[in-house]
Structure 1
Amino acid sequence: MINFNYETDFKLVNPSLRAEWISNVINEEDCKEGEINYIFCSDDYLHKINVEFLNHDTLTDIISFDYSVGKKLQGDIYISIDRVKENATLYKVDFKDELARVMVHGVLHCCGYKDKSEKEVEVMRSKEDYYLAKLS
């Protein structure tokens, strides 16, 4: 089950479409859908989590906590709407497109993809682009 939670005034437009899209990503990655919680929040909210749980004193657009067991995906995906807005402006893309990229990025982490090395980043970007094309 894909759940959307809000710790900010932001609300997803057409959440059922987004949930179906994420479910399709999970299925296509040959994983099973458990409970995936998206938590949309502010920079301050996510910064506190970043410091408390990861010991990183920086702003970020997303933090994924992966609780998956085998191929059954479970996790909490925190997304800073403030960061997504700023990154959309910085990269000159539409907010909804940047938000979709961050959302799929989080679930791809739960599917086992990493983004620490250049090669991992390349694979992650390729997967993001592939699934973003399917959202249109």
Structure 2
Amino acid sequence: MGYPDHELSILIVDDKEIARMNEHYLHHKGPTNVISFSMQEGDFADVNPLLLGDVVISADTAQREAREARMPFAARFAQLLVHGILHLVGYDHEASAQEAESMEAKSEEMLAMLARMEPVT
């Protein structure tokens, strides 16, 4: 993806906390599954050019979505993490249908790469 030396933070929260963040920062009511806060754009982008930003994931929502989709929690968590990271590097599925397709393709590529990795023990 072109960010070999970059950093990001991952924050895992519950529905109450992500709902608070969703309303405070995005002006949306209620919990969501993932929120990304980019440090590559805006007033402070030049403070640390190697910092991509933050990915916040609601464990409650991820668990609920995993159950609904009948998939392992770890698989849903990985999907949300990849989705959040893609937002940090400039992908935006809401911009256009073409961007959504591009983001979906990159997401599938990254998830396939993760699936091929050896587990850490």
**Counterparts of 1:35 and 1:120, CA distance in 2:** 24
**1:130 corresponds to:** 109
Aligned residues: 108
**Counterparts of 1:85 and 1:126, CA distance in 2:** 24
Contact 2:52 2:89 in 1 (8 A): no
> If the length of structure 1 is used for normalisation, what is the TM-score?
0.72
**1:77 corresponds to:** 55
Contact 2:63 2:73 in 1 (8 A): yes
Please give the per-residue CA displacement for 1:18-71, whole angstroms capped at 9, x wherever unaligned. Answer: xxxxxxxxxxx1125333110000000000001111110132100000012487
Please give the per-residue CA displacement for 1:83-123, whole angstroms capped at 9, x wherever unaligned. Answer: 11111122222111110011111111111100103322222
**Counterparts of 2:18 and 2:6, CA distance in 1:** 23
Query: 1:76 is aligned with what amino acid?
Result: D
Indicate the RMSD between aligned Cα atoms, in angstroms: 1.8
**Counterparts of 2:19 and 2:68, CA distance in 1:** 20
**Counterparts of 1:118 and 1:124, CA distance in 2:** 10
Unaligned runs of 5+ in 2: 116-121
Alignment pair present for 1:120 and 2:92: no
SS in 2 for 1:119: helix
Q: Which structure would you say has the larger Rg?
A: 2
Which structure shows the higher strand fraction?
Answer: 1
The sequence identity of aligned pairs, in percent, is: 31
